[in-house]
Structure 1
Amino acid sequence: MTEDRPIPLPGAIGISHVDCYDWPTDDGLGGGSPHLHLACTEAYVVTRGEGVVQTLSTAGYREDELSPGAVVWFEPGTVHRMVGHEALRVTVLMQNSGLPEAGDAVFTFPPKILADPDAYAEAATLPDGPDAEAAARRRRDLAVTGYLPLRDALRSGDPEPLREFHRAAAALVTPRLDHWKKLWRDGALAAAERTGAGLDALAEGDVSELASSRVRLARPSRSGGHGMCGWRDEYEIPGTTVAYGGE
């Protein structure tokens, strides 16, 4: 046993804290960049302020109010857009930590950009340094430009543009899938298998793992970074294979 052995967060989840962007968009709303995740369920735990989350799925358009104590979560394939009304701050919980950081999210850029991997990468990537905020704002505005027609189509009862966006998003990430599978095996799957092994040990009366339990404390390793939805505080746990951020 060693005191320094890594301990991932429970279930290999990811965690970050996000202060919603307050920059206004073409439709007059201040908020984040609409996007979806292809393999991860996500949850918002609201800790401060007021706002809404707008979501698009083949079931239609939905808007849920966000206020302290509210928890909202959505499955892969749901386009989501965080909109802040008053100093909105949420704690974000991500399934399969490591996959969001590896590009599990795809922005709702216009179709022409989604069809060109190089153009998509250029639009999605932020520079380091003082130009990052302006680039994050341009990225958010471009995602809103592609998002509004998807929302309008759903409101009129037509889910086909959203389905086409799903297909385009899947095509973009196909080259990364082998890497994602490795991250999943080393992270979320390994965590579940450790639980199974622990249950088997308990059934046999073996409590040796309980005697080797440890405690870890982590503080944000990066604060105020430009995330998809807002300024983000994220964590990196030494000795693990993933960071805890991604939104």
Structure 2
Amino acid sequence: MVIFPGGTGVSGLEVYGWEAADGCHGGSPHLHTACTEGYVVVAGQGELQTLTPAGYTCVPLRPGTVAWFTPGTVHRAVNHGGLRVLVVMQNAGLPEAGDAVLTFPPEVLGDADAYRTAATLDPGDPEGSARRRRDLAVAGFQILRDHLTRGDPEPLFDLYRQAAELVRPQAAAWRDIVAAGPAAALAATSRQIDALVAGDGGHLREAEVRKLDAPAPEDRAFGMCGRLETYRLA
């Protein structure tokens, strides 16, 4: 099996242009519990709004910008016009397995069934339910941002505790995903270096090229931040 570099995931993202209650156009604020995520901006203009214990920040996004953020960073992609991003995700497969947690209000985050209901899209109305999910996440985001700007990080720490509890039932299974992806890529590189130190370049004879085309427009999913073109790399 040929693993994509580093066991990462790659998706094309067209950030939602939907207006939220605060006048910003964009997607659903959320965090990742075990993955670092990177944005490579390929078109348009926008900003990345983030919340961490250090406070609220806003990173301008324009073509050529590369921004990345570690687990626990609450992030919200805001579209100022035509914003398209190439998303590079650590630990390919983990976000799809539940690594991401949306910033719903505390009463929803504290009830696993209520959270699952609010986070799940309605197959009969994917766009409408994606909008409702976004609006609920923005409501929670605003609470967090307001407290942080007043110097109070406790609601953010509460979110971290609730997020850890939400993902706890499935977290053990993530070890297999990491073992098959980034850990396997690291092990393969270690073997190749050992071989080269010994003067053995036999693995170079296994050289090959792989290619995937972009998914068809009708196959783009309604993701948390926008319409997704997910490349199935494994």
Scaled by the length of structure 2, what TM-score is found?
0.97
Hey, what's the Cα distance between the residues in 2 that align with 1:193 and 1:158? Answer: 43
1:231 aligns to 2:230 (yes or no): no
- The Cα of 1:31 is off from its aligned counterpart by 0.3
Q: Which of 184, 196, 202 is the matching residue for 1:202?
A: 196
Q: 2:84 maps to which residue?
A: 89
Q: 2:140 maps to which residue?
A: 146
* Matched pairs, number: 232
Q: Which amino acid aligns with 1:33?
A: S
Hey, what's the Cα distance between the residues in 2 that align with 1:70 and 1:133? Answer: 28
SS in 1 for 2:220: strand
Equivalent residues in 2 for 1:1-247, closer than 5 Å: 6-129=1-124, 131-221=125-215, 223-237=219-233, 240=234
SS in 1 for 2:26: coil
- The Cα of 1:104 is off from its aligned counterpart by 0.6
- The Cα of 1:220 is off from its aligned counterpart by 2.8
> Which whole-Å deviations, capped at 9, do the CAs of 1:91-139 have from their partners, x for residues lacking one?
000011111111110000011111111111111111325x100010000
| 8 Å Cα contact 1:221/1:236 also seen in 2 | no
Hey, what's the Cα distance between the residues in 2 that align with 1:146 and 1:204? Answer: 56
> Which whole-Å deviations, capped at 9, do the CAs of 1:47-86 have from their partners, x for residues lacking one?
0000000000001100010000001110000000000001
Q: Which amino acid aligns with 1:31?
A: G
Q: Which amino acid aligns with 1:216?
A: R
SS in 2 for 1:236: coil
Unaligned runs of 5+ in 1: 1-5, 241-247
Q: Which stretches of structure 1, 4 residues or more, deviate above 2 A after TM superposition?
A: 220-224
Scaled by the length of structure 1, what TM-score is found?
0.92
Q: Which amino acid aligns with 1:236?
A: R
> Which whole-Å deviations, capped at 9, do the CAs of 1:217-241 have from their partners, x for residues lacking one?
101346421011001111113xx3x
Unaligned runs of 5+ in 2: none
Identity of aligned residues (%): 52
Between 1:119-128 and 1:102-111, the stretch displaced more is 119-128
